[in-house]
Structure 1
Amino acid sequence: MERNELYPIFLKVSHLKVLIVGGGNVGLEKLTFLLKSSPRAQVQMVAPEFLSDTLELAKKHNVEITKDVYADHFLKGKHIVIACTDKPKVNEQVYHDCREQGNLVNVADNPPFCDFYMGGIVTKGNVKVAISTNGKSPTTAKRLRQFFEDVLPDNIDDLVNNLNKYRKTLKGDFEQKVEALNEFTKGLVSNKD
C-alpha cells in the first residue's frame, strides 16, 4: 500500500504572494477555492485572456489581473505559483522556471509537476479541515469534504472559543495545560472498547 507522505500545513496567503498562470475555467476554479478559504489572499493572475466571471471575482478581492503571456519574470517575488493554462508546454515551463527560482508550484492535473496539492477544505468558523488523496482522486476529496461539512456541527466554533478562554485561565507549564485540556475534551471522542 502506497503511503501519503505529504506534510499538511495551513498557509497565511494574506502574507504570501500567489501567482496563477491561466485565465480559463481551471484558473477560475483555483482562484475561487483559494479566495473561498482565504478572501484576503494576495493574488496576481497572468493570461492573455480571462473569463468574465474571473474578472468579476478578481475585482471583488483585489486580485491583480495581467493580460499577457507567461514569462519567468512574473515569478519574481512570488511564494506560490499555480499553473493552469490549457497549454501543457506552458505549464511545464512554469514548473521548470519555479524549480530554478525556488517557488513552490502546482501544475493543475499533473501530479509529477506539483510541490503541493490543493485539497478539499472544510471550514466551520476557526476550525478548518484539509483533505488529501495524495493527488490520486479529487472526487474522493470532494465527497469527504461534503461528509465533514455535514458531520461537523455548525456550533463547533463556540467550543473552540470557549476552550481558548479556558486555556488562558490555566496555570502551569505546557504539559500541565495539555493534560487539563485533554481531560476537558475527552468527551468529544467516544472510546469503543
Structure 2
Amino acid sequence: MILDINFEGKYVVIVGGGPEAYRKVLTFLDAKSKILVVSKKFLLKIHALHYLKKIDLLESNITDAESFVKNLGNSPDLLVAVTNDHDLNFQLVKYAKSAGWMVYCVDNPRISDFMFPAFAKIDDIKIAVSTSGKSPTMARILRQRIEKMITPDDLLQIKLHAYIRPILKQRISEQKLRKIALSEILEDNQIKKLLRKGKFGDAKKFALDIAESFADKNQALQEV
C-alpha cells in the first residue's frame, strides 16, 4: 500500500551521511520536516545544507544503538537508518521501535514502517511506484515511463477541474448530477482541443456553459 504521509513540521532523524542519506534529506526537506542528520562524517552536499541552516547535524560515531536512542534528547517522529552497516541499521530500528518512533531501514524493508517509492512530482500530480523493496531500480524506470505519459493538457484538465468543482458543488445539489457534469467536461472534445492549444481561458468558458446547463437540470429536478 502506498500512503502519502504528511511529514510537515515533523522531527526526522536520519542516521548516515552518505549519498542515500542525502537523498532522504532532500525528500524530507521537500516535505518541510525538521531534520537532524547523524554520522561520523558527511557528504559536502549535506554540509552545504547545514551551512544554509536547512538541517541540523550531529557528528557522532554510533557504536551502541540502544544508548544512542535513549540519549537522543527530543524524541523524533521518525528515525531513518541509512548507514552502510547492516547490523547497526537493524539495532537502531529495533530500539527506535521500542521507543515508539516510526522507523525506516534502508536495507531491510520488512522491519520498516513504510517504504520510499520511486517518486516524482509534476505540477499537481504525484507519481509513486513501489516494487515492495524488491527492485528500486525498476521502480525508478517504471516511474520515468509513466512521467512521459503525462501531457501539458492533462495538467490543464486538473487545473480546470479545480476551478469548476467548487462551482458545481455550489450550483448543483444532486451528487450524481455533479459527477455526470464533471465527466462531460472531461470528455468534451472542444474543451480538449482548447487545452491542447493552451487556451485555458476559453476552456473555462465552455466548462461554465456545461455547468450552467446541468445547474438548470438540477433546478428542474428540485421543482418536480
Match of residue 185 from structure 1? 186
Match of residue 38 from structure 2? 46
Match of residue 148 from structure 2? 150
Measure how far apart 1:175 and its partner are.
5.0
Match of residue 172 from structure 1? 173
- Identify if the C-alpha distance between structure 1 residues 65 and 140 changes in structure 2 by more than 3 Å, giving closer, same or farther: same
What secondary structure, in the 3-state scheme, does the structure 1 residue paired with 2:14 have?
strand
Segments of 5+ residues of structure 1 without an aligned counterpart are: 1-6, 189-193
CA deviation string 1:85-104 (max 9, x = no partner): 12222211111112212222
Give the total of aligned pairs. Answer: 180
8 A contact 1:21–1:45 mirrored in 2: yes
> What is the identity, as a one-letter code, of the residue corresponding to 1:40?
K
Q: CA RMSD in A?
A: 2.4
CA deviation string 1:132-177 (max 9, x = no partner): 1111110111101111221112454332221111001013255554
Measure how far apart 1:50 and its partner are.
0.8
Pair 1:14-2:8 in alignment: yes
Match of residue 60 from structure 2? 68
- Identify if the C-alpha distance between structure 1 residues 142 and 58 changes in structure 2 by more than 3 Å, giving closer, same or farther: farther
Partners of 1:97 and 1:75 in 2: how far apart?
14
- Identify if the C-alpha distance between structure 1 residues 156 and 114 changes in structure 2 by more than 3 Å, giving closer, same or farther: same
What secondary structure, in the 3-state scheme, does the structure 2 residue paired with 1:148 have?
helix
Match of residue 117 from structure 1? 115
> What is the identity, as a one-letter code, of the residue corresponding to 2:21?
G
- Identify if the C-alpha distance between structure 1 residues 34 and 166 changes in structure 2 by more than 3 Å, giving closer, same or farther: same
Query: Normalization by structure 2: what TM-score?
Result: 0.70
Partners of 2:95 and 2:145 in 1: how far apart?
38
Partners of 1:50 and 1:151 in 2: how far apart?
37
Query: Normalization by structure 1: what TM-score?
Result: 0.80
- Identify if the C-alpha distance between structure 1 residues 155 and 125 changes in structure 2 by more than 3 Å, giving closer, same or farther: farther
8 A contact 1:15–1:42 mirrored in 2: yes
What secondary structure, in the 3-state scheme, does the structure 1 residue paired with 2:41 have?
coil
Measure how far apart 1:14 and its partner are.
2.0
Measure how far apart 1:112 and its partner are.
2.2
> What is the identity, as a one-letter code, of the residue corresponding to 2:182?
L
Partners of 2:161 and 2:34 in 1: how far apart?
31
User: 1 or 2, which has the higher helix percentage?
Assistant: 2
- Identify if the C-alpha distance between structure 1 residues 42 and 185 changes in structure 2 by more than 3 Å, giving closer, same or farther: farther
